[in-house]
Amino acid sequence: MNEGLTGNRVWSIIRAIRHQISDISCPPHSIITCFDCQYFFATVQKMAKRVQVITPSGNHRWEKAGLVLVSSILIGITVACVDVAANDIPPATLTALRLSTASIAFCAILLFQRPNYQWHPRSASDIFIIGVLNVGLPFLLLATAVAYISSALAAVLLSTSPVLTIVLAHCLLPDEKLNRVKVVGTITAVAGATILIVSNASGLEVGHDRGWIGQSLIIVGSFSAAVGVIYTRIRLREEDATILAAGQVFASLVMLVPLALLTEGTPDLASYPWQSWAAMFVSALSSPVAASWLLFYIIHKYSASLAGFSSIAAPLISVIIGVVFLGEVITWPITIGALSLLAGVWSLNRF
């Protein structure tokens, strides 16, 4: 709804008008007019309160839910596609290819939008830092982890990111404090993550006795992303979302390409099957291109805590894709741990 039609706006106009006429003395013969004016203002104030019922607060609630849902779908698809591509492409090379594809997409977007942005050393260093925290390290750890655990389990463990974000926000941001209910939610979520790690579950059709390695890698990546969200909130909240999303991809690409060449050598691109190429392209365009832009948009418009919840529904999407298309399995430890983790995350967002 247009901001000019909201109850708050109408109310502020009424108060301004009354303030302007408060010093005007009506002559004796216009006493009836004064009473009529008072009645008029009282009536308009009641109308303003009615308009207030349909102000953007309700719209914002639906917008928040929609942003989180879309972001979760993108992340769920990304995790599943990374799992497919990682069967044939080494993790560092896969991450470098994803970032290269995303960089090309962002170059096209920037050429089309031509944002007016003045680069300076401080902003460049900040964007490099969030690039490593938000994209480079989490992407590399995810590509490595899916060799040990299923994409569904990886998506469930990515839900630790909201918990870590809220805890860090409580410690570092004065306007995003924990309450008692959120403390209980945090403990519940941590308990769920602990069940998953202790069970050593992998979620793979062929069991893997080192599932805890993949789980630990995902949690480290989630912590890195949480730090990146808080850093962005503190240092770069007012920056353009497209600039931030593109800048962090460029910065990560500068780091990942040399790392991939040093650790995995020159890749034989022609040897990768078309299915892996397709999965790589989809994962690159869904995240970091679309999902990263949404992340910074949420941070800019709402809060770091809400941005941390952008992957809350991703486990459901990944479980469906993993079980139906990738032959992954859901065991009781995974079910119990995932439900506990997601219940804690949900309560953190709900209250």
| Residue 22 CA from chain centroid, whole number | 49
Q: Per residue in 211-239, pLDDT tens?
A: 788 888 999 999 999 999 899 888 887 78
Cα separation, 81 vs 322, in Å, equals 10
The CA distance from 168 to 118, in Å, is 30
Q: With bands split at pLDDT 50, 70 and 90, how would you rate the model's confidence at 200?
A: low
Work out the pLDDT band at 12, boundaries 50, 70, 90.
Answer: low
Cβ 109 vs Cβ 240: under 8 Å: no
Q: What is the pLDDT of residue 15?
A: 55
Weakest-pLDDT range from 113-127, 195-209, 259-273: 195-209
Residue 47 has pLDDT above 60, yes or no: no
- Residue 284 CA to residue 164 CA, distance in Å, equals 25
When comparing pLDDT for 178 and 345, which is higher?
178
Q: pLDDT-based confidence at 300, cuts 50/70/90?
A: confident
Amino acid at 197: I
In single-letter form, the type of residue at position 347 comes to S
The answer to whether the predicted template modeling score (pTM) of the entire model surpasses 0.95 is no
Task: Output b/e per residue, 68-95; b: 16+ Cβ within 10 A.
Answer: beebbbbbbbbbbbbbbbbeebbbbbbb
Mean pLDDT over 22-38 rounds to 46
pLDDT digits (tens, 9 = 90+) for 114-148: 887 777 788 889 999 999 999 999 999 999 998 88
Instruction: Region of 2 please: left (phi>0), alpha (psi -120 to 50) or beta.
Output: beta
Instruction: Give the tokens for residue 194.
Output: 């602990």
Looking at residue 201, its pLDDT comes to 54
> What is the dihedral angle through the alpha carbons of 227, 229, 235, 237, rounded to the nearest 10 degrees?
-170
Of 39, 33, 42, residue with least CA distance to 14 = 42
Diameter over CA atoms, the chain: 95
Listed by start position, the domains of the chain span: 3-52, 65-350
Calculate ∠ Cα 312-318-319, nearest 5°: 105
What residues contact 193, with CB distance under 8 A and at least 6 apart? 157, 160, 163, 219, 337, 341
Residue 188, pLDDT score: 75
What is the predicted pLDDT for the residue at 198?
61
In angstroms, the Cα distances linking 189 to 15, 45, 47, 249 are: 47, 46, 45, 30
Which pLDDT belongs to residue 53?
41
Q: Which of 63-77, 239-253, 283-297, 337-351 has the lowest mean pLDDT?
A: 337-351
When pLDDT is averaged across residues 324-335 and rounded to a whole number, the result is 70
Provide the percentage of residues in the chain whose pLDDT is more than 90: 25
Q: Is-contact 197 348, C-beta < 8 A?
A: no
- pLDDT grade for 196, boundaries at 50, 70 and 90: low
For 328: left if phi > 0, alpha if psi spans -120 to 50, otherwise beta; the answer is beta
